[in-house]
Amino acid sequence: MCSCLASADPEVYRAVQGEVDRQRFTLEMIASENFCSPAVLAALGTPLTNKYAEGYPGRRYYGGCESVDIAEYLAIERAKKLFGADHANVQPHSGSQANLAAYLALVEPGTKIMGMKLPHGGHLTHGSPVNFSGQLFQVVSYELNPETERLELDDFTASVKENRPDLVILGASAYPRAIDFARFTDVAHEAGAKVVADIAHTAGLVATGLHPTPIGSCDIVTSTTHKTLRGPRGGLILCGEEYKKEVDKKVFPFAQGGPLMHVIAAKAVAFGEALQPQFKVYQQRVIDNAQILAQRLTDRELRLVTGGTDTHLMLLNLVPNGLTGKDAQQALERAGITTNKNTVPNDPQSPMVTSGIRIGTPALSTRGMGANEMELIGDWIADVIESKLDEEVIRATRVKVRDLCDAFPQYADWSIA
């Protein structure tokens, strides 16, 4: 069978090639992105995409599921082993759908949920008014401490006691510090709330013991599979025996129809990779690189929210530099450094403009970069910001970025079939 995208559809081929080249020749520093392995890519590009398999392995609504059952069993067993969980549902198409299913497995629509305030680092699905979470539930939020910019147990306790939520969501999208899930969960449970931990960002760190785990304390754990976990784009739910039936029912048939079996096969591959000892070495490099980069930015007198990081990401507050996140993101992109604008605590700008930049190290650590490269990149980011986004500085940085990318080839042997 001919599988030549270039001749079958040159327009789509060019778009795909353009994106692959962008990944090869720029520095990917969006904290939620990574480079999955060629084996994961191979599993994604298989005829498993053709298969309908509504239901769960061994209890499907369609015939012909014997091989995709094997793939899903592998993904489930590997996810359970990786995180030490009793039950795994590997079908959520995304982290958002995992959260939808998890919340409704624990509480009814109309009840009160509480997540981290969005401009402080929470996620859309943790209670944004434009998201299902803000429309199906009453929403209250907990906040970072104004002095330390950290999630402090005392503040959280006071907020939970005052607001009496039915469900607390722990975890964040743009918070650079570790969260001790067990301690926060104890507080929420004492106040009568159920707890979902959303570890979409830190899953790889959690799986390797480099970040506190929510398994064993939180009621349900949700994640994506493509961030620090370095798998295909998708979602994951973990829980104990108590909630497994309800979780499975809320994923299918409540929230989703047919599972994406090619993605589930790719999740199995990624979980298998994450069970290897090298994966912990990689995750340690992600953290080390983040700390070296954070230190370099701080040495260059840039202001990081909380002053640093425990994880794979940091948040640069550009208020002292008189710049917006939007302008800085665009300037860094012209320099070949891809980040995203992000609100900072008490941001004076709108979410479309923002006063911050979120920077992460998972992708560049996959690429093999280490301390020397982080120091160089920290200087280049600081140069662009200090110059107030001067086009000459941006052009000179772009040249250096391209040289560095050439020295660390990414997907060099990968080509479109």
Give whichever of 141 and 173 is closer to ligand DSN, judged by the CB atom.
173
Per-position DSSP letters for 6-32, written without gaps between them: HHH-HHHHHHHHHHHHHHHHSEE--TT
Q: What is the token pair recorded at 154?
A: 């005392």
Q: Is 123 a binder of ligand DSN (CB under 6 A)?
A: yes
**Residue 200 vs 302, nearer CB to ligand DSN:** 200
- Looking at the Cβ atoms of 290 and 404, the one nearer to ligand DSN is 290
Pairing of strands 112-116, 303-304: unpaired
Nearest-approach distance from CB 329 to ligand DSN, in angstroms: 13
Please say if 77 is a catalytic residue: no
Sheet (strand 235-239) strand order: 87-89, 235-239, 220-224, 194-198, 167-170, 112-116, 138-142
Q: Please, which residues bridge with residue 199 across strands?
A: none
The mark string for 199-228 relative to ligand DSN (x by CB under 6 A, - otherwise) is -x----------------------------
301 is catalytic: no
In degrees, rounded to 5, the angle at the alpha carbon of residue 111 between the alpha carbons of residues 108 and 117 is 120
Minimum Å distance from CB 99 to ligand DSN? 10
Catalytic residue among 78, 233, 267, 398: 233
Least distance from ligand DSN to the Cβ atom of residue 173, Å:
4
Under a CB-based contact definition with an 8 Å cutoff, are residues 359 and 316 in contact? yes
Which residues lie below 8 Å from residue 286, measured CB to CB, with a gap of 6+?
204, 205, 228, 312, 361, 362, 365
Pair 99, 198: CB distance under 8 Å: yes
414 CB neighbour count, 10 Å cutoff: 12
Task: Report the residue number, 36 or 193, with the smaller CB distance to ligand DSN.
Answer: 36
Binding mask 138-177 for ligand DSN (x = CB under 6 A): -----------------------------------x----
Contacts of ligand DSN in 315-354 (CB under 6 A): none
The binder of ligand DSN chosen from 55, 95, 176, 362 (CB under 6 A): 95
- The CA-to-CA distance between both ends of the chain, in Å, stands at 11
Cβ 32 to ligand DSN, closest distance in Å?
3
**Per rule CB under 6 A, count of chain residues that contact ligand DSN:** 5
Residue with Cβ nearer ligand DSN (239 or 315): 315
119 contributes a contact to ligand DSN by CB under 6 A: no
* CB contact burial 221-237 (16+ within 10 A = b; e otherwise): bbbbbbbbbbbbbbbbb
Does residue 360 belong to the site contacting ligand DSN (CB under 6 A)? no
Least distance (Å) from ligand DSN to the CB of residue 360? Answer: 9
If the CB atoms of residues 200 and 315 are measured against ligand DSN, the closer one turns out to be 200
Among 24, 227, 267, 326, the one annotated catalytic: 227
Catalytic residue among 224, 309, 339, 366: 224
**Shortest Cβ 31–ligand DSN spacing (Å):** 7
**Cβ partners under 8 Å of residue 343, min gap 6:** 118, 119, 174, 325, 349, 351, 354, 355, 356
Helical H runs in 275-386? 277-299, 325-334, 362-366, 371-386
Catalytic residue among 33, 46, 54, 150: 54
Q: How far is the CB of 85 from ligand DSN (least distance, A)?
A: 21
Q: Which amino acid is at 186?
A: D
Distance of CA 417 to the CA centre of its chain: 29
Q: Is 54 a catalytic residue?
A: yes
Find the binder of ligand DSN among 23, 26, 32, 225 (CB under 6 A): 32
Report the distance separating Cα 76 and Cα 332, nearest Å: 40
* Residue with smaller CB distance to ligand DSN, 24 or 226: 226
Residue least distant from ligand DSN (Cβ) = 32
- Is 219 tagged catalytic? no
d(CA 193, CA 187): 9
Catalytic residue among 198, 248, 273, 310: 198
CA gap 127, 138 in Å, rounded: 8
CB atoms within 10 A of CB 344: 26
CB 128, min distance to ligand DSN, A: 11
**Which residues sit at the interface with ligand DSN, rule CB under 6 A?**
32, 95, 123, 173, 200
- Kindly list the catalytic residues: 52, 54, 198, 224, 227, 233
